[in-house]
Amino acid sequence: MQLTQLLRNSVGRKLIMAVSGLLVTGFVVSHLLGNLALFAGQEAFNLYAAQLQQLGPLLWLFRLGLAGTLLLHVFFGIWLTLQNRAAKPTGYAINRIRSTNLAAKTMVFTGMALLLFLIGHLLHFTFRRIGLPPELAHDAGGTLDVFDMVTLSFQQGFPVLLYAGAMLALFLHLGHGLGSALQTLGACNDKFLPGVRKGGFIVALALLLGYVSIPVLTFFGFVTP
Amino acid sequence: MNLTLHVWRQKGPEDRGRLERYAARNIDPELSFLEMLDQLNGELIREGREPIVFDHDCREGICGACSQVINGEAHGPQAETTVCQLYMRQFQDGDEIYVEPWRARAFPVIKDLVVDRSALDRLIEAGGYISVGTGGVPDANAILVPGEAAETAMDAAECIGCGACVAACPNGSAMLFVAAKIAHLASLPQGRPEASRRVCSMTDAMGREGFGNCSNHYECEAACPKGISVKFIAQLNREYLKTLPKAATSKAP
Amino acid sequence: MILDNQCPSGPLADQWDNHRRNLLLINPDNKRKYTVLVVGTGLAGASAAATLAELGYKVEAFCYQDSPRRAHSIAAQGGINAAKNYPNDGDSIYRLFFDTIKGGDFRARESNVYRLAQISNGIIDQCVAQGVPFARDYAGYLQNRSFGGSQVSRTFFARGQTGQQLLLGAYQALSRQIRAGKIRVHTRREMLDLVVVAGRARGITARNLVSGELESYAANAVVLATGGYANVYNLSTNALGSNVTAAWRAYKRGAYFANPCFTQIHPTCIPVSGNLQSKLTLLSESLRNDGRIWVPRNRRDPRSPEQIPEAERDYFLERRYPGYGNLAPRDIASRAVKQICDAGFGVGNGQGVYLDFTDAIQNLGTETIRSRYGNLFDMYLRITGEDAYRRPMRIFPAPHYSMGGLWVDYNLQSTVPGLFVLGEANFSDHGANRLGASALMQGLADGYFILPYTITDYLAGTGPGRNAVTDDAFDQSRTATEECLQQLLAVRGDKTVDEFHRQLGHILWNNVGMARSEESLQRALQQIPPLREEFWNRVRVPGRSDDFNQELEKAGRLADYLEFGELLARDALNRNESCGGHFRVEHQTEDGEALRDDANYNYVAAWEYRGDQTPPRLHKETLRFDSIETAVRSYK
- Alpha-carbon span C63 to C69, nearest angstrom: 10
Nearest CA in chain B to C169: B129
In a domain, A111, yes or no: yes
pLDDT in tens, A180-195: 999 999 988 777 777 8
Nearest CB to C165; choose among B78, B87, B157:
B157
- Residue B204 sits at the chain A interface (C-beta within 8 Å): yes
Q: Which pairing describes strands B3-9 and B96-100: parallel, antiparallel, or unpaired? A: parallel
Alpha helices in B10-117, H assignment, sequence order = 33-46
In a domain, A224, yes or no: no
8 Å CB contact of B171 and A98: no
**How far are the Cα atoms of B1, B4, B96, C277 from residue B92, in angstroms, in the given order?**
7, 11, 9, 20
Please identify, among C349, C367, C400, the residue that sits at the C-terminal boundary of a domain.
Answer: C400
Same domain, C494 and C574: yes
Name the β-bridge partners of C395.
C353
Do chains C and A meet with 3 or more Cβ pairs nearer than 8 Å?
Answer: no
In a domain, A195, yes or no: yes
- Give residues with Cβ within 8 angstroms of B118, minimum separation 6: C66, C67, C187
- Alpha-carbon span B94 to C70, nearest angstrom: 35
* CATH number of the domain encompassing residue A45: 1.20.1300.10
Backbone angles phi, psi at C393, to 5 degrees: -70, 155
Residue C282 in contact with residue C256, Cβ under 8 Å?
no
Nearest CB to A88; choose among B104, B241, B243:
B104
pLDDT in tens, C89-142: 999 999 999 999 999 999 999 999 999 999 999 999 999 999 999 999 999 999
8 Å CB contact of B219 and A98: yes
Residue C56 in contact with residue C34, Cβ under 8 Å?
no
Burial zone of B248 (CB within 10 Å; 0-12 exposed, 13-18 middle, 19+ buried)? exposed
In a domain, C356, yes or no: yes
Q: What strands lie across the sheet with C214-218, from one edge to the other?
A: C189-197, C200-208, C214-218
Q: Helix, strand or coil for residue C123?
A: helix
Name the β-bridge partners of B173.
B212
In a domain, C225, yes or no: no
- The residue among C196, C224, C170, C205 whose CA lies nearest residue C412 is C224
How many other CB atoms are found less than 10 A from the CB of residue A62? 13
Exposure class string for C237-276: b at 16+ Cβ within 10 A, else e: bbbbbbbbbbbbbbbbbbbbbbbbbbbbbbbbbbbbbeeb
Is residue C109 flagged as an active site residue? no
Name the β-bridge partners of B233.
none
In a domain, C479, yes or no: yes
8 Å CB contact of B134 and C382: no
In a domain, A50, yes or no: yes
User: Domain count of chain A?
Assistant: 1
In a domain, C478, yes or no: yes
- The residue among C560, C428, C420 whose CA lies nearest residue C485 is C560
| Upper half-sphere CA count for residue C531 (Cβ side, 13 Å) | 26
pLDDT of residue C518: 98
In a domain, C592, yes or no: yes
Same domain, C477 and C395: no
8 Å CB contact of B6 and A185: no
DSSP C446: I
Residue C396 in contact with residue C337, Cβ under 8 Å?
yes
Residue B253: band (very low, low, confident or very high) from pLDDT cuts 50, 70, 90: very low
8 Å CB contact of B64 and C69: yes
In a domain, C125, yes or no: no
Q: Residue C526 is part of which domain span?
A: 472-598
- Alpha-carbon span C606 to C608, nearest angstrom: 7
C407 residue type, one letter: W
Nearest CB to C66; choose among B117, B153, B191:
B117
8 Å CB contact of A87 and B106: yes
- Residue B225 sits at the chain A interface (C-beta within 8 Å): no
pLDDT of residue A178: 96
pLDDT profile of chain C (636 residues), mean per 10? 87 96 95 97 98 98 98 94 96 96 95 98 98 96 84 91 97 98 98 97 98 98 98 97 98 98 95 91 88 94 93 94 84 90 92 94 92 88 93 95 97 98 95 93 98 98 89 96 98 97 97 96 98 98 97 98 98 97 93 89 97 96 92 74
Do chains C and B meet with 3 or more Cβ pairs nearer than 8 Å?
Answer: yes
Picking from B203, B213, B241 by the largest number of A CB atoms within 10 A of its own CB, the best residue to mutate is: B213
- Alpha-carbon span C101 to C84, nearest angstrom: 18
Nearest CA in chain C to B54: C550
- The residue among C632, C624, C508, C503 whose CA lies nearest residue C572 is C508
Q: Residue A136 is part of which domain span?
A: 5-88+100-219
Residue C238 in contact with residue C76, Cβ under 8 Å?
no
User: Domain count of chain C?
Assistant: 2
- Residue B17 sits at the chain A interface (C-beta within 8 Å): no
Backbone angles phi, psi at B245, to 5 degrees: -55, -40
Please identify, among C371, C400, C429, the residue that sits at the C-terminal boundary of a domain.
Answer: C400
Interface of B with C in 115-134 (CB under 8 A): 116-118, 120-121, 124-134
* CATH number of the domain encompassing residue C385: 3.90.700.10
In a domain, C217, yes or no: no
Distance from CA of B102 to the nearest CA of A (A): 9
8 Å CB contact of B173 and A87: yes
pLDDT in tens, A127-143: 888 888 777 766 656 67
Please identify, among C339, C374, C400, the residue that sits at the C-terminal boundary of a domain.
Answer: C400
Looking at per-residue pLDDT, the higher value among C304 and B247 belongs to: C304
How many percent of chain A have pLDDT more than 90?
Answer: 75
pLDDT in tens, B10-60: 999 999 999 999 999 999 999 999 999 999 999 999 999 999 999 999 999
* CATH number of the domain encompassing residue C477: 1.20.58.100
- Calculate the CA dihedral of residues C621, C624, C630, C635 and round it to 10 degrees: -50
All structural domains of chain B:
3-110 (3.10.20.30), 117-249 (1.10.1060.10)
Q: Helix, strand or coil for residue B100?
A: strand
C274 residue type, one letter: G
pTM: 0.96
Distance from CA of B38 to the nearest CA of C (A): 8
Nearest CB to A84; choose among B72, B106, B215:
B215
Whether the predicted interface score ipTM is above 0.95: yes
Nearest CB to B45; choose among C277, C379, C496:
C496
